[in-house]
Amino acid sequence: MTEHKVIRSMSRPGTPYDNAPMERWWNEFKSNWLDSHPLPKTREELIRLIEEGIYYFNYIDRTAQRNGSTAVEYRGEAA
């Protein structure tokens, strides 16, 4: 891995603490977005579905965890 300048994740099997935020987002994305849409039939449909989901979670989805803000609004408040 060093030869290819790849940095290994700090986590080891069973301890994914450094990756927990991404794992949580991916779980929500799969369960709240992908599972609520028809299975894509082509690669293009899959790409479009993922892009729409990312847009939704960044610009439309409001949660109590972010005081009713979208992710983009919340990040803007933090800046």
Token pair, residue 27, equals 């779980």
* 60 occurs within a structural domain: yes
* 9 occurs within a structural domain: no
Band (pLDDT 50/70/90 cuts) for residue 31 is very high
The residue length of the chain stands at: 79
- Tell me the mean pLDDT in the region 13-28: 77
| Cβ partners under 8 Å of residue 30, min gap 6 | none
Is residue 53 helix, strand or coil? helix
Q: Residue 32 and residue 25: Cα distance in Å, rounded?
A: 10
- Tell me the mean pLDDT in the region 69-78: 86
For the cut 90, the answer to whether the pLDDT of residue 37 exceeds it is yes
* 19 occurs within a structural domain: no
* 8 occurs within a structural domain: no
- Tell me the mean pLDDT in the region 20-39: 88
Query: What domain range is 56 assigned to?
Result: 41-79
Number of domains in the chain: 1
* 25 occurs within a structural domain: no
- Tell me the mean pLDDT in the region 51-72: 90
